[in-house]
Amino acid sequence: MKDKLVIIRNTAFGLMVLCFFMVFTVPPRSVDVMCMIVGAFGLVVAIPTFWLDESKIQKAFFIMGSGGAAAMLITWGAFHLLALIGHKPGGDGGGFTLPAVLIGGAASFIGSIGAIVCLVRSLK
């Protein structure tokens, strides 16, 4: 069972990293959709990581990378939900949305690089 979780987690992680870098190549209108996809893959990576028995540093990097992506998903989702119920977009003045997206993106990037290094080191 744990081998299947590792395969699922590593595949979702690879797709999350690929989609994260695709965010910078898509047209501006598609950024919202790509952030949602990255966040969904982040949730798929985070859940099995809690169950797997790995080194603490590897687990920390996977949680940091996927948690940052999931934070972007939650932030974008909350922003658009508020827009649907009539809250004017941009009304919070970047007080929550901007820091959450920037910190989530940075945490996802740093955690992903660390997780990739851990995966490469575990192959040797």
Cα separation, 90 vs 67, in Å, equals 24
What pTM does this model have?
0.80
CA nearest 109: which of 77, 69, 76, 70? Answer: 69
Judge contact between 69 and 42, C-beta under 8 A.
Answer: yes
Lowest-pLDDT range of 4-8, 26-30, 37-41: 26-30
For the stretch 73-94, pLDDT in tens is: 888 777 777 778 877 666 555 5
